[in-house]
Amino acid sequence: MSKQKLELTWIGKDKRPRQEPRIMGRRWIMIELGEHCHTHIIPRLKKVIDGDDPGGITQAVGWQGGGGFRYYRLAPSLIVNDRWGNSVINPDYNAAQLAEALCKLEGFSYAPSETRWWQHGHSSERDFIYVTTQNLSAEQLQALSDEVGGEQSLLICCAAFHSVTAARAAERWPNLTLKKIPKMVLARCEWGHDDYSLNVANLPIAAPVPLETMLSPGRGKGVNTNTAIPEQGTLFEEPS
């Protein structure tokens, strides 16, 4: 397998998938459920990084330790079905969580402003995002457009808007872009796959460490340049 491709490891409790991609210098994603992620998988990954795991191919390749990993918790599903089968926003999400989730989905940095109530995040110095579950009127959209001004742009993610069509809104307020929740979320989903050919976007990528560097003399225990991150929390929580 090419070192530039991502290796999907879905059986985390099996020792080989945890160990070999790291030792062979591959980029990998591991998926696991259950508390044994904390009791078994993370401790053993740390041993591989520290050069303290003698099993598998460690001795065959002369592995002495190195590298690191990132640990994330998956957030609950953003879209659920109500009792009539309609797609709705998960009621477990509060306003701040919804804003953060949609910022990530749309490629914005979540950074709520303390002075601008409509600024939940930004993609540049002049491009912002506003997330609300309200049904916005033409008057409300006009007020938003006036406050944003002609030198800035605002993506508005709302439940709905009325008294104006989407085409008319684009002409009337060129500094605003309107998207409806949850339609905008469903448009990003992929359905009907019976394999793993999903489009993984906006994945944070760290610069890979050359295998020759990781296997060089002296890169043993206590001299790792990349340390394991034990926990990075959920999308909405600070690490414990």
Q: Are residues 218 and 236 in the same domain?
A: yes
Q: Are residues 182 and 222 in the same domain?
A: no
Evaluate whether residue 193 is within a structural domain. no
Q: Are residues 152 and 103 in the same domain?
A: yes
Q: Are residues 210 and 172 in the same domain?
A: no
Which residues in 115-181 belong to E strands, given as ranges?
121-122, 127-131, 135-136, 153-158, 160-161, 176-180
Cα–Cα distance measured from residue 126 to residue 25, given in angstroms and rounded to the nearest whole number: 40
Evaluate whether residue 56 is within a structural domain. yes
Evaluate whether residue 44 is within a structural domain. yes
Q: Are residues 62 and 154 in the same domain?
A: no
Q: Are residues 124 and 175 in the same domain?
A: yes
Q: Are residues 85 and 179 in the same domain?
A: yes
User: Distance of alpha carbon 6 from its chain centroid, rounded?
Assistant: 16
- pLDDT in tens for each of the 240 residues of the chain? 555 666 666 555 554 444 555 555 667 788 887 788 888 888 888 877 777 766 666 666 666 777 778 888 888 888 888 899 888 889 999 999 999 999 999 999 999 999 999 999 999 999 999 999 999 999 999 999 999 999 999 999 999 999 898 899 999 999 999 999 988 888 877 665 556 555 555 555 556 555 555 445 444 444 444 444 444 444 455 444
Cα–Cα distance measured from residue 5 to residue 229, given in angstroms and rounded to the nearest whole number: 22
Q: Are residues 180 and 212 in the same domain?
A: no
Evaluate whether residue 195 is within a structural domain. no
Q: Are residues 103 and 57 in the same domain?
A: no
Q: Are residues 2 and 30 in the same domain?
A: yes
Which residues in 82-145 belong to E strands, given as ranges?
87-89, 109-110, 121-122, 127-131, 135-136
Q: Are residues 102 and 167 in the same domain?
A: yes
> What is the extent of the structural domain holding 124?
79-186
Number of domains in the chain: 2
Evaluate whether residue 164 is within a structural domain. yes
Q: Are residues 102 and 141 in the same domain?
A: yes
